[in-house]
Amino acid sequence: MSIRQSSPWGTALLTAVAVGTLFSSSAQAVDGGAVADSSYAFSAKIDVGGVRACSGSLLNNQWMVTAASCFTEDPALFATLPAGAPALKTTATIGRTNLIGTTGEVRQITQLIPRTDRDLVLAKLDSPVYGVSFLHPATTAPTGGESLKGTGYGRTKDIWVPDQLHIGSFTAGAVEATALGIDGTPICKGDTGAPVFREKDGRPELAAVASRSWQGGCLGSDETRTGAVASRVDDIRAWLTENTASTLNNWNMQMLARTSTGLYHAMRNSNGDWTGFGDVQKVAGSIEDLAYAADAAIKGKNYVFAVGGDGHLYEANRRPTGGWEAFRDITDEVGSKPGLTSVAVTSTGSGLALIGLASGRVYHATQGADEKWSKWGDVSAKLGVLGNATQVTTAQTSGGDTQIGVVADKKAYHAIRRSDGTWSAWGHISNLPTGLDAINGMAFAGTGSDLQIILTSPTGDKKHAIRADATGSWSSFGNLGSRLGAEPTISVDAASVTRELQAAVVTADGKIKHILRHDNGKWDAVDQVAGYPGTPAGVALTGSAD
């Protein structure tokens, strides 16, 4: 990696490197290296009016974080930076690890929101960026001696204006109220604002933003000291969320993760930040040998359903205020079904539609606005038995239709319970050109009148398509594996959140991956979810408003 020239440690700020008109060939940093094209795509090169260059990182689709000193004539006066548009036209190149390439996106920075207590500023982009990974702010403070990394576009030991993103390794030193001391790979001119991050649970999280440095080992410097100072972000997460509120609405995506140690709940807000995972059974009561879980939300209340080892069905809910009502056994209310192994649930607007799979047969029940349940109805008796059924999924589309999917004999089937209570026949999705020889997972989400579907195969293939409710026609099946990876999956679920498709898979090697498709058809980069205890076995999603 590389950042800027400074005077004595802890007092002088880095000064940004002048922007060159020609890019040199890439070179290795002092003891780091050039970053591969697909790695650390959240990194950004910032050009301030053609006279200064800095580094930064993408927090969500439309906001970045960097150093305030990048935007002041005198870096020492970063605290005087006014909010609003930058004084000079400023562009950010994001997700382009090699600057002579064409990957990533280029955006103009139109608004600055600075901190006054540290060298840090939020920068808004003129339009959203899609398909580039975000760097989530850390939830815990750095500790002395901790190993950290950083990425930047600044000067190296032998290149004045590199065209390649570089990565360096650091050791955390003194942790102050707003700042963090780091030492290791030299931080040189052009790296001001660069992310300093830890690798946690298989993904990076932002710990600090580079501010000032001794610059030992940088081209043009005779200094030998390599220490630097960075501005902390872990203590200002609420400020970061509040001030990126133009992309934040009151809808959250709620996730249940069933793992080897229990059932856990987390939320993702529309800015892409996750809460920590809370232990559902600790607050809502324990389910012995919990075998399956699903959830759906109505007006902010998140209903959670669990199948116990005794084959009974349990219901709990999380209130919009955050408190939980305990699990209760609803087996008598809906009727006992020996061999119940899994359930799927969707909101109908005023109530819930519940699909159950028991001894190879599919069942349906509803909960009304009065929160009273109907008895299980035998869908298989109406539509026919599907042999060796292993999974069910469901979603609501506008107009009141409940869409039902079943995986049976490694094939996918679809039926509709119309708003008037009548049923369509089973449709054989596997007869469509899905490109899959066998199916082991399926997830539905209703986005308006359209039904979005994700299929997974035992070999790791993943496909996505949309069924237009008005015509019943299916789009072609796109290759979602190019985004979510080729690992075999053991669980998949999807949900609609403000007409956006959010989906998650549990991979056979013990990861939970999340992805989002916007209403305009653009996909975000895959996000590896972190922070759940144990090894994941299943995942369930729903969207709810606070």
Q: Give per-residue pLDDT as tens, 428-439.
A: 999 999 999 999
420 burial (CB, 10 Å; 0-12 / 13-18 / 19+) is: exposed
In the chain, what are the domain boundaries? 33-242, 249-545
Has residue 84 got a pLDDT over 50? yes
Q: Output the CA torsion 138→199→508→465 (10° steps).
A: 60
pLDDT at 17 over 90: no
Arithmetic mean of pLDDT, 341-365: 96
Looking at residue 247, what is its pLDDT? 72
Question: Is residue 545 over pLDDT 80?
Answer: no
Given this model, what pLDDT does residue 20 score? 32
Split at pLDDT 50, 70, 90, the class of 417 is: very high
Bridge partners of 275? none
CB atoms within 10 A of CB 312: 17
Question: Which of 241 and 395 is assigned the larger pLDDT?
Answer: 395
* 130, 204, 218, 232, 279 from 197: Cα distances, Å: 22, 6, 21, 10, 27
pLDDT of residue 215: 81
- Distance, in Å, from the CA atom of 531 to the CA atom of 533, rounded to the nearest integer, reads 7
pTM of the model: 0.90
Q: How would you class 76 by CB atoms within 10 Å of its CB: exposed for 0-12, middle for 13-18, buried for 19 or more?
A: middle
**In residues, how long is the chain?**
546
Nearest to 37 by CA among 101, 110, 125, 123: 101
The predicted pLDDT at position 158 comes to: 75
* Predicted pLDDT of residue 71: 97
Whole-number pLDDT of residue 30: 28
Query: How far is the C-alpha of 317 from the C-alpha of 116, rounded, in Å?
Result: 42
pLDDT digit string (tens) for 292-322? 999 999 988 999 999 999 999 999 999 988 8
In this structure, which amino acid lies at residue 28?
Q
Which of 213, 221, 166 lies closest to 187, judged by CA?
213
Residues of the chain with pLDDT > 70, as a percent, come to: 93
CATH number corresponding to 33-242 = 2.40.10.120
Q: Of residues 172 and 18, which shows the higher confidence score?
A: 172
The predicted pLDDT at position 284 comes to: 97
Task: Give the pLDDT score at 6.
Answer: 31
Residue 14 clears pLDDT 60, i.e. is over it:
no
| CATH class entry, domain 249-545 | mainly beta
Q: How much is the mean pLDDT over the chain?
A: 90
List the one residue out of 285, 7, 265, 54 whose CA is nearest residue 151.
54
Q: What does the pLDDT read at residue 163?
A: 85
Residue 12 reports pLDDT greater than 70: no
Sign of the dihedral through C-alpha 219, 221, 226, 230: negative
